[in-house]
Structure 1
Amino acid sequence: MSMLVDCSNCRTPLQLPAGARAIRCALCQAITRVADPRSLPPPLPTQPYATYSNHHYAPPQPHPPPAAPAPSPYNRVASFGQPPPVNGRKRAVICGISYKRTKHELKGCINDAKCMKYLLINKFKFPESSILMLTEEETDPYRIPTKHNIRMAMFWLMQGCQPGDSLVFHFSGHGSQQRNYTGDEIDGYDETLCPLDFETQGMIVDDEINATMVKPLPHGVRLHAIIDACHSGTMLDLPFLCRMDRTGRYTWEDHSPQSGIFKGTNGGEVISFSGCDDDQSSADTSSLSKVTSTGAMTFSFIQAIERGHGTTYGDMLTSMRNTIRKNESDLGGGGGAGGGAVSSLIGMLLTGGSLGGGGIRQEPQLTASEPFDVYTKRFTL
């Protein structure tokens, strides 16, 4: 099993293959050597006092303050333009992948990303400079949604978060599954996100997503994930899934692995909306008439908010499911690793357009780091 190590020169996170003792950094070409873990001293206690990259750690005295945190890996690419600076207490990573000119092409994922950015800025007052967009339309090569860049974006999102922060991770594209051999999945499969270069570089497994964005999340920080992809029900490997029937009654299923592997946070709160259950596919369709494709899940998520149906998390989930059930006629099966798309314009999203008629065989899911009453907990980003 691979592990993440920091480059000894530029501190970029690197994935060390199992059994390897050295790895070369693709950014600075430095070679990082790793000692036998049995010879290493025990790790120091985790310091949950990180602030944003322009501050130092500030643990309580009498302990001496440790060194300033390593800068974001994105700061190493100044020649291609800086990433959005941390601005205020809200930050987001938005990723939309269309896989153009491949057999896996999707029609609405980049539009999903644009719609989500519009929603965060205009409805939830996220500063535009604190939103990192990764799509194939970006001119900066470090914002193309490759496996490496998505990984770095997840690290950027988590860097120096502090109590009161609101973080958002949105992904629209292909999702898939692969056999799990560690015993930490109830159904025996890991869920995966498919970056633009997944055919050559591989997929991003839910274990890594959990280790990067869930486990380190400190007390007082909230992360929302919105995943519009196939097999996305437990894409963040969160320990609790809200199993809701069509009458609105629900129970929280404990998905904590029997192996005892911890899947929760470091005190923070993570809530994830996903396009379908782990064994389901999200829909995909071409543009209809004069409108533009967007993801079915992203459409229903934004529409629930714009129509005032997003007061609580239970209201959000119910509204999303009702919207998708009514709109099968414009949708085809996801197929393969598929992600979702359904016809609309952002103007329709903001003024209450419809998708068509019928019902689609995908059920949006809600997972969380801790169970809560979905009909009393107010939804906000």
Structure 2
Amino acid sequence: MPPMNQQNYGPQFQGANQQMQQPFFQYSQCSGKKKALCIGINYVGQDAELHGCVNDAGNIKKFLIEKYGYQEQDIVMLTDGRPNGPPQDPRQIPARQMPTKANIIDAMRWLVNGAAPNDSLFFHYSGHGGQTKDLDGDEGDGMDEVIYPVDFQTNSHIVDDEMHRIMVQPLPPGCRLTSIFDSCHSGSALDLPYIYSTEGKVKEPNLAAEAGAGLKTAFSSYAKGDMGGVFKSAMGLVKTATGGGQKAEQYARATRTSPADVISWSGCKDSQTSADANEAGRATGAMSYAFITALQQQPQQSYQQLLNSLRDILRAKYSQKPQLSSSHPMDTNIMFIC
């Protein structure tokens, strides 16, 4: 179980009133109130229609109630269909239940409203994800991650910076928020600055690997006659050579670290896509399926063990690699609870 006392880390510094201070966070014991927001969007009738996302939201809700003691009245569902049922005309769904941009943002605010130490909040999103140009310098690859509400064609996407402001920044020390993003390009979708390897260690920018990927992309663009792509890749190489990735990471840790206990599981790296799959005869997102399956097979797992379990389940059929990130440097050997 996570320790109960305040956890200090990093160098000490002189704060207000000449007092020596040190960065800190506090784990949640998950013994307080429990609230959850489950979002599943199939984009019914749209060009990029999906099939398993609404089922994912229903499956996660059922899992939270049966395995972790969440109460149905404390779970908000936003879906454009009926989970694990026949197709439903979106026009028959109450307007308040539709996963529009306005409803999603309102529900995110509801989720964190009144949050207190040892509370356990749960956010699940299954739907389309993507990227847009980073405007504040906190992304090593120069791209922010986004999610797409059902009305994104008229009201646009929701950027990771905004999700972080709404759901992470207001939380007090000792309050847990667990998030799952079952969407493409979701590795850092909640803008948490500490990302972990399967060995349980914080990943650091790999400038050599970034440069190699940039050269490969530039060569591919040149072969296709895409000179714009060549120029973009070349600029990325310049950024890598000058330590742009490290600068972005330093900025992210300075502005996105939180004393709250925020954990994010994502279905893939920022550069990857997540599968809309079919498992056990039902449409489902591969990450949502893997998360439920891993914890049903072995309920007691550390964060490192669970990350490896998710990777093992998906490796057999999918190329995507689930990611674990946090709002503070954490001990991945403690037990996963929510």
- After TM superposition, the score normalised by the length of structure 2 is 0.72
Which whole-Å CA distance do the structure 2 matches of 1:178 and 1:238 have between them? 17
Say yes or no: does 1:173 pair with 2:124: no
2:329 aligned residue: 371
User: Structure 1 residues 145, 151: closer, same or farther in 2, change over 3 A?
Assistant: same
> Gaps spanning 5+ residues in structure 2: where?
1-31, 83-92, 206-247
Shift of 1:261: 5.6
Which of 45, 52, 58 matches 1:108?
52
Identity of aligned residues (%): 43
Letter in 2 for 1:213: M
Letter in 2 for 1:262: T
Does the 8 Å CA contact 1:214/1:264 hold for their aligned counterparts?
no
Deviations 1:152-200 (A, max 9, x none): 0000001111112100000000000011122121110000011001111
Shift of 1:215: 1.1
2:202 aligned residue: 251
The 5 A counterparts of 1:9-88 are: none
> Gaps spanning 5+ residues in structure 1: where?
1-87, 329-359
User: Structure 1 residues 93, 279: closer, same or farther in 2, change over 3 A?
Assistant: same
Which whole-Å CA distance do the structure 1 matches of 2:108 and 2:275 have between them? 26
Shift of 1:260: 7.6
2:257 aligned residue: 264
Does the 8 Å CA contact 2:194/2:328 hold for their aligned counterparts?
yes
Task: Give the number of aligned pairs.
Answer: 255
Which whole-Å CA distance do the structure 2 matches of 1:320 and 1:219 have between them? 28
2:287 aligned residue: 297
Does the 8 Å CA contact 1:173/1:228 hold for their aligned counterparts?
yes
SS of alignment partner, residue 217 of structure 1:
coil
Does the 8 Å CA contact 1:256/1:262 hold for their aligned counterparts?
no
Deviations 1:303-356 (A, max 9, x none): 110001651111111000000011x2xxxxxxxxxxxxxxxxxxxxxxxxxxxx
1:380 aligned residue: 337
SS of alignment partner, residue 152 of structure 1:
helix
1:149 aligned residue: 103
Say yes or no: does 1:89 pair with 2:46: no
SS of alignment partner, residue 169 of structure 1:
strand
Deviations 1:90-122 (A, max 9, x none): 000000000011111111001101110010000
1:210 aligned residue: 164
Q: Which has the higher contact order (CA 8 A, sep 6+)?
A: 2
SS of alignment partner, residue 263 of structure 2:
strand
Letter in 2 for 1:137: G
Which whole-Å CA distance do the structure 1 matches of 2:271 and 2:125 have between them? 18
Which whole-Å CA distance do the structure 2 matches of 1:170 and 1:210 have between them? 14
2:65 aligned residue: 121
Shift of 1:243: 2.7
User: Structure 1 residues 309, 259: closer, same or farther in 2, change over 3 A?
Assistant: closer
User: Structure 1 residues 308, 292: closer, same or farther in 2, change over 3 A?
Assistant: same
Which whole-Å CA distance do the structure 1 matches of 2:252 and 2:43 have between them? 36
Which whole-Å CA distance do the structure 2 matches of 1:136 and 1:363 have between them? 27
Of 304-313 and 134-143, more deviation after overlay is shown by 134-143
1:194 aligned residue: 148
Letter in 1 for 2:288: T
2:320 aligned residue: 362
Which whole-Å CA distance do the structure 2 matches of 1:366 and 1:237 have between them? 12
Shift of 1:284: 2.5
Shift of 1:256: 3.8
2:305 aligned residue: 315
Does the 8 Å CA contact 1:243/1:253 hold for their aligned counterparts?
no
1:7 aligned residue: none
Does the 8 Å CA contact 1:242/1:250 hold for their aligned counterparts?
yes
Which whole-Å CA distance do the structure 2 matches of 1:160 and 1:151 have between them? 16
Shift of 1:234: 0.3
Which of 258, 273, 285 matches 1:281?
273
Does the 8 Å CA contact 1:109/1:173 hold for their aligned counterparts?
yes
Deviations 1:211-242 (A, max 9, x none): 00111111121100011000000000011111
SS of alignment partner, residue 108 of structure 2:
helix
1:183 aligned residue: 137
